[in-house]
Amino acid sequence: MARWIRHFSDADPSDRALLGNKGANLAGMTQLGLPVPPGFIVTTAACRYVQQTGTIPPDLWTEVDEAITAIEARMARRLGDTDNPLLLSVRSGAAESMPGMMDTILNVGITPATRAGLGRQLGDRFAADAWRRLIQMYGKVVLGAPAEWFENALSGALLATGLPSEHEFDTASLLHLAERFESLLAEHDLIIPADPREQVRQSILAVFKSWNSERAIAFRATHGLPEQSGTAATIQAMVFGNRNEQSGTGVVFTRHPGTGDPGLFGEFLINAQGEDVVAGTRTPFPISNLQDMPAWQTLPVQLQAIGDQLELHYADMQDIEFTVEDGRLWILQTRNGKRSAAAAVRIAVDLTHAGVIDRAEAVRRIQPEKIESLLHPGLDDGRPVNVIGNGLPASPGAARGVIAIDTADARKRAAEGTRVILVRAETAAEDYPAMAVSEGILTARGGMTSHAAVVARGIGKPAVTACSDLTINTRNQTITIGTVTLAVGDELAIDGGSGRVITGPVTLAPAELDAYARTILDWADEFRHLAVRANADSPEDARGARALGAEGIGLCRTEHMFFGDGRLSTIQTLILAETDDERDQALARLEQFQTDDFIGIFRAMDGFPVTIRTLDPPLHEFLPHRPANIAALAKRLNVDTETLRDRIEAHRESNPMLGLRGVRLSIVHPGIATMQARSIARAAIACIHEGIDVRPEIMVPLVSVTEELSRQREVIEKAVASIVDKSGVSITIRIGTMLELPRACLRAGRLAEYADFFSFGTNDLTQTTFGMSRDDSARYLPTYLSEGIYRTDPFQTLDQQGVGELIQMAIERARAVRPEISMGVCGEHGGDPESISFCHGIGLDYVSCSPFRVPVARLAAAHASLANPIEQPLLTAAD
């Protein structure tokens, strides 16, 4: 058996690591009996050998020669034959699909000696065009000639002929262009080998080399793909979609990649090669149009049958490239189709209903982060907008930002925090980094399967393509759409759901989860062990969180309630009060505000726990700093400005994050915690009278010693009793604490004696474990990340070794004392999939995150359970 190559007909299609995704699929399709042009694969092992040793594997070229001979026999054509030459394609293909990131060479095998024969077989114009394409691709990819040489030569030829595109060139013009290309190469001693087998060999090596192209490396870095695995090279007989009017080429998805709707979805170009579709140089027409074209009517039927077969075989939606040569259909490639998040969800649900996959697999297929993009804003349809152009709705969602037409400019603006809409004639692989940082993408050309469309759907960015009224003027740095001209830096909006391009004010409305997303999330709930709560501070947020599936509130930051109308001035009065009377009046007013807020929140969370944290931030945060505001407050309090300024100054701390905040505040000013506990009790009683199942929990922040918690517990219990005792209602209000200081984790066993629950405040716990300010880390974090000192931002993804170990230690110590104690995380990490997986692994009961992260957390918790099932009863909402 050959060592470095595998034939399509006998390779093991399950060995993707060796064959690459493309090669494995071609082998799989060949073995399914589909019409695949014959070919073979030079394996990734050969690529690794070349890259590691810088030499060619022994016997590789002999094996390649023998395999070519086998193709020659199947196609009844010979490589280098002057009468009936065989042409080959040499394509890249790694184990993980990296669309458009590596190189491919087509038409390998044309030489001055075979050109005439090719012309006799397929027409002179065709031969001249194929030759010109080979020189261009081989020159660029194998010989490393800059693309501009060819582009400039082509522009010259277009000018000279006055024709709009090279597709209109006659044979003479094409040959002339090819000669120009050849002489450009020759000027730099770059020669296309006259021996077709040498062409094949050099093409294989160039494909291997493209594994290390800048864009391929960037793509792998963004997608977390391994660096070492290498690419395979697939060598296959060429079939020609640009042979005549009975030929063509297309791409078909077995389901709609934007919406997931069932039914074939694709595009077709008559008399064209595959790269014409992908590069977006000609805008193809929808496959559905074929039904109205008598010569093509059977094609959709054939494609449907093949699509069904492939979808069933691979148990997923397929993206199939095909070519028709002189009426004969050839399948060139199939792969699991890239899709928008919405389509991924719908397809997973539909395939489950069809019995192709099960619920666990459906849940596994949705990346947690992706589901959040379903909550990306759409256009608020209630409001009129100024539509200046239309294109194809290539990737759903609406976006607005400033226009950038240059990728470097787009990246620069995005790095500065500006929202950018990237506007291009069309996009190519090297535009990927700019697309990834833009809000949305608008192109003048390219269909629903163009690079721009495929990439945008993959990364969840809204896109409108083929906006034919769009022209880009790089010299003036403007774009024109119809009659409207806009400058780079001007605002623009796109609606990738409808294809509209819009100027002027637009309102983006949050999208709701549709029935498919709700189904997937319901299925996720069947598997997960972690409960998911939300961090919410208002009745409105609580309702939103409930709608997204939050099973309670894990953190209600009460300080956020003090910034509303009339409240800020009341708390300012409280802080600055000079007499008990003033203080009591302010507290009474606040108690009323708080009671009303809590009633709203308890109503939204009927039947679910609501964890309310007593006041946490330093009081200085509530006081004015600007002279005008200080003067206004002085007037209201009837004191002179100087005096007030001194009193405000007295609250200033050099390090407020480590200062008079959290439980320390309540120890020094017990009135605030008392007022809050009374409000919670009053609100709970009012709700019980309404028949609501209230489950309040009061949480004390920033505790480090047991005495703080035991005293605070007493204050809270007393305040609650002062309300409950005279109400005649029986109610349980659980009291717990946040663990957000290392000392609290170390002393968790003692703290557990006074806590019904623990909530790990991983924001502060990270801050204090690293000794790194949450508010100032942006100055050095980017350097730490780019230098690889931190793998990830510890404020986003939990530091498992350090902070994580403190949490694990605390869990063990607490459970040893109080086995039934419930514990969760309420820092930002509660919405981060990697951190959620850790929380699951260490046996926490719940995570709590911002409302929009709730669907992400539900899925991430299910993924964690599916990857690492643990034997414990599923939590109920009441945990």
Contacted entry of Mg ion, ligand PEP, none for residue 555, CB cut-off 5 to 8 Å set by kind: ligand PEP
Kind plus residue range of the DSSP H or E element containing 644:
helix 641-650
> How many CB atoms are closer than 10 A to CB 478?
16
* Options 376, 451, 829, 840, the catalytic residue: 451
Nearer to Mg ion, 71 or 699 (CB): 699
Contacts of 725 by beta carbon, 8 Å cutoff, 6+ apart: none
> Rounded distance, CA 414 to CA 422, Å?
10
* Residue from the set 197, 557, 645, 711 that interacts with ligand PEP by CB under 6 A: 557
Tell me, yes or no, if 7 is annotated catalytic. Answer: no
Tally of helices (H runs) and strands (E runs) in the chain: 33, 31
Site string for ligand PEP, 602-641 (x = CB under 6 A): --------------x-------------------------
- Residue that is written with structure tokens 């810088």 in the block: 54
Helices 515-527 + 341-353 axis angle, to 10: 70
171, HSE (Cβ side, Cα atoms, 13 Å): 10
Site string for ligand PEP, 215-254 (x = CB under 6 A): ----------------------------------------
Q: What is the 3-state secondary structure (H, E, C) of 138-164?
A: HHHHHCCCCHHHHHHHHHHHHHHHCCC
Nearer to ligand PEP, 216 or 807 (CB): 807
Minimum gap (Å) between residue 702 Cβ and Mg ion: 7
Size of the site for ligand PEP (CB under 6 A): 10
> Rounded distance, CA 114 to CA 79, Å?
9
* Distance spanning both ends of the chain, measured CA to CA: 61
> Rounded distance, CA 605 to CA 697, Å?
13
Tell me, yes or no, if 826 is annotated catalytic. Answer: yes
The answer to whether the CB of 472 falls within 8 A of the CB of 405 is: yes
Window contacting ligand PEP (CB under 6 A); options: 366-374, 442-450, 638-646, 762-770: 762-770
Site string for ligand PEP, 642-681 (x = CB under 6 A): ----------------------------------------
Nearer to ligand PEP, 182 or 740 (CB): 740
* Residue from the set 321, 426, 431, 740 that interacts with ligand PEP by CB under 6 A: 740
Strands 470-473 and 386-390: unpaired
Nearer to ligand PEP, 284 or 662 (CB): 662
The answer to whether the CB of 813 falls within 8 A of the CB of 842 is: no
> Rounded distance, CA 9 to CA 60, Å?
19
Length of the chain: 879
> Rounded distance, CA 200 to CA 68, Å?
10
The answer to whether the CB of 383 falls within 8 A of the CB of 298 is: no
The closest of 68, 92, 88, 90 to 20, measured between CA atoms, is 92
Q: Is 764 in the site for Mg ion (CB under 5 A)?
A: yes
Nearer to ligand PEP, 460 or 554 (CB): 554
Nearer to ligand PEP, 557 or 647 (CB): 557
The answer to whether the CB of 697 falls within 8 A of the CB of 610 is: yes
Nearer to ligand PEP, 453 or 849 (CB): 849
Window contacting ligand PEP (CB under 6 A); options: 171-179, 690-698, 729-737, 758-766: 758-766
Nearer to Mg ion, 761 or 830 (CB): 761
Nearer to ligand PEP, 557 or 734 (CB): 557
Minimum gap (Å) between residue 523 Cβ and ligand PEP: 29
The closest of 334, 411, 241 to 32, measured between CA atoms, is 334
Nearer to ligand PEP, 360 or 657 (CB): 657
Question: Which residues, 693 to 752, sit near Mg ion by CB under 5 A?
Answer: 740
Give the C-alpha distances (Å, rounded to integers) separating 599 from 154, 570, 694, 878: 72, 20, 10, 19
Window contacting ligand PEP (CB under 6 A); options: 44-52, 541-549, 755-763, 858-866: 755-763
Minimum gap (Å) between residue 852 Cβ and Mg ion: 20
Q: Is 762 in the site for ligand PEP (CB under 6 A)?
A: yes
Nearer to Mg ion, 543 or 613 (CB): 613
Contacted entry of Mg ion, ligand PEP, none for residue 744, CB cut-off 5 to 8 Å set by kind: none
Minimum gap (Å) between residue 812 Cβ and ligand PEP: 21
> Rounded distance, CA 309 to CA 473, Å?
47
Q: Is 28 in the site for ligand PEP (CB under 6 A)?
A: no
Window contacting ligand PEP (CB under 6 A); options: 7-15, 192-200, 759-767, 781-789: 759-767
> Rounded distance, CA 599 to CA 399, Å?
37
Question: Which residues, 252 to 281, sit near ligand PEP by CB under 6 A?
Answer: none
Window contacting ligand PEP (CB under 6 A); options: 129-137, 371-379, 579-587, 760-768: 760-768
Q: What is the 3-state secondary structure (H, E, C) of 686-739?
A: HHHHCCCCCEEEEEECCCCCHHHHHHHHHHHHHHHHHHHCCCCCCCCCEEEEEE
Return the SS3 of 253. strand
Window contacting Mg ion (CB under 5 A); options: 136-144, 378-386, 536-544, 762-770: 762-770
Q: Is 826 in the site for ligand PEP (CB under 6 A)?
A: yes
Q: Is 828 in the site for Mg ion (CB under 5 A)?
A: no
Minimum gap (Å) between residue 676 Cβ and Mg ion: 16
Question: Which residues, 603 to 662, sit near Mg ion by CB under 5 A?
Answer: none
* Residue from the set 117, 393, 544, 761 that interacts with Mg ion by CB under 5 A: 761
Residue type, 239: V
* Options 467, 556, 745, 826, the catalytic residue: 826
Minimum gap (Å) between residue 661 Cβ and ligand PEP: 9
- Residue that is written with structure tokens 């077969």 in the block: 309
Minimum gap (Å) between residue 741 Cβ and ligand PEP: 10
Minimum gap (Å) between residue 674 Cβ and ligand PEP: 21
Nearer to ligand PEP, 421 or 748 (CB): 748
Minimum gap (Å) between residue 765 Cβ and Mg ion: 8
Residue type, 72: E
The answer to whether the CB of 88 falls within 8 A of the CB of 236 is: yes
> Rounded distance, CA 363 to CA 795, Å?
27
The answer to whether the CB of 110 falls within 8 A of the CB of 118 is: yes
Q: Is 763 in the site for ligand PEP (CB under 6 A)?
A: yes
The closest of 595, 597, 602 to 690, measured between CA atoms, is 602
Q: Which two tokens stand for residue 502?
A: 């819009």
Q: Is 555 in the site for ligand PEP (CB under 6 A)?
A: yes
Q: Is 764 in the site for ligand PEP (CB under 6 A)?
A: yes
At residue 115, what are phi and psi to the nearest 5 degrees? Answer: -60, -40
Window contacting Mg ion (CB under 5 A); options: 42-50, 450-458, 757-765, 862-870: 757-765
Minimum gap (Å) between residue 847 Cβ and ligand PEP: 11
Q: How far is CA 102 from the centre of its chain?
A: 22
Q: Which residue is nearest to Mg ion (CB)?
A: 764
Window contacting Mg ion (CB under 5 A); options: 48-56, 332-340, 516-524, 753-761: 753-761
Kind plus residue range of the DSSP H or E element containing 495:
strand 491-495
- Residue that is written with structure tokens 């230098």 in the block: 787
* Residue from the set 307, 761, 804, 833 that interacts with ligand PEP by CB under 6 A: 761
Q: Is 855 in the site for Mg ion (CB under 5 A)?
A: no
> Rounded distance, CA 728 to CA 748, Å?
35
> Rounded distance, CA 306 to CA 508, Å?
41
Q: Is 109 in the site for ligand PEP (CB under 6 A)?
A: no
Residues that bind ligand PEP in the complex, under the rule CB under 6 A:
555, 557, 616, 740, 761-764, 826-827
Residues that bind Mg ion in the complex, under the rule CB under 5 A:
740, 761, 764
Q: Active-site residue numbers?
A: 451, 826
